[in-house]
Structure 1
Amino acid sequence: MADCEMIAKCIFFNDKMANMPAMAEMMKKKYCRGDNTKCARYLVCKKLGREKVPADLSPAQTDRAQTIMA
């Protein structure tokens, strides 16, 4: 599967994780370079639009994403 189309502009990785490159790469491998549907940010973005994705939403917070989308 190709990289997520949001990866270049993802606020979480480009702003929140900028000072933790090793951790960011590990998370990108899991959430951005494979099955994007496991990423909470991707799910909210696809359903509600990029502007509705909270800046502090972690890719792992799928429960929070479900609440946001409900």
Structure 2
Amino acid sequence: MANCEMLLKCIFFNDKMANKPGTANLMKEKYCKGDFQECARYKVCKTLGRDKVPGDLFPSQMDRVRQLLKQ
């Protein structure tokens, strides 16, 4: 499977998770290098635009995605 096109520019991993490399690597393997279409950040970015992705949105927070998309 291909890597997520947003991997190198993902603010979450490149800024927010810089001090947690172990956790970041696990999440990157699951979402960025795996099934990135299941990443909450990816879904918001592709649907609403990159500027609408909350800085504190974790890749697994699909419940928040549903709330954001309703607005």
Please identify runs of 4+ aligned residues in structure 1 that moved more than 4 A.
none
- 1:9 is aligned to 2:5: no
Task: Give the percent of matched residue pairs that are identical in Structure 1 and Structure 2.
Answer: 63
Q: Deviations over 1:1-31 (max 9, x none)?
A: 1110001011110111001111100000011
Paired AA for residue 8 in structure 1: L
Structure 2 regions of 5+ residues with no counterpart?
none
Query: So what's the TM-score if we normalise by structure 2?
Result: 0.94
CA positional deviation for 1:36: 1.1
Q: Partner of 1:57: helix, strand, or coil?
A: coil
Structure 1 regions of 5+ residues with no counterpart?
none
Query: So what's the TM-score if we normalise by structure 1?
Result: 0.95
